[in-house]
Structure 1
Amino acid sequence: MSRFTVDDIRRILRDCAGEPDSVSLEDDIGTISFEEMGYDSLAVLEMAARIQQEFLVAIPDETVAELPTPDAVVGYVGPRLAA
């Protein structure tokens, strides 16, 4: 069974939106909001689309707005991987 971690988010963000200017993705980014990292809503939606493609877990657009940090996304996706 696959796991979904902040490392997956790091990789996906780098692939679809690049490295942010404001923080290093190598730092502990779990509780830093995507906005604080410098990612706009389009980048976060692209991340959600990549998660759906790769992990087969859909994150509806309205839910994406309710997941402001990498830890929140992991908390949403993780349990759905097991289902």
Structure 2
Amino acid sequence: MSSTEFTLDNLVHILREGAGADESADLGGDIRDTDFESLGYESLALLETIGRIEREYGITLDDDILASAGTPGQLIDAVGAQLAHGRTD
């Protein structure tokens, strides 16, 4: 993917396609500040999501991203910051 922007829509797409959507998870609306656990995504699903983001966007995220990004908004901000600094692959 050759985008320099990472949005909530991009994240929702990756969550649904890569990590699988929890049937009870409501990923519509503004979920930026809802913690991933409340959305039904545990650490393994998030690890898969982060790996997919790294591959699709050609970036490398910090190893502590799982601990530091507890909400979609925090993950979007971390990805956006990495994209702003340029690709690392």
**TM-score using structure 2 length:** 0.82
Q: Report the counterpart of residue 71 of structure 2 in structure 1.
A: 69
Q: Report the counterpart of residue 47 of structure 1 in structure 2.
A: 49
CA–CA distance in 2 between the matches of 1:24 and 1:63?
23
Count of matched residue positions in the alignment of Structure 1 and Structure 2: 83
**TM-score using structure 1 length:** 0.87
Conserved? CA contact 1:34–1:69, under 8 Å: yes
CA–CA distance in 1 between the matches of 2:32 and 2:20?
17
Q: How does 1:16-31 map to 2 (within 5 A)?
A: 16-31=18-33
Deviations 1:56-77 (A, max 9, x none): 2222342222100110011111
- Taking only the aligned residue pairs, the percentage that are identical comes to 39
Deviation at 1:15, TM superposition (A): 0.7
Gaps of at least 5 residues in structure 1 are none
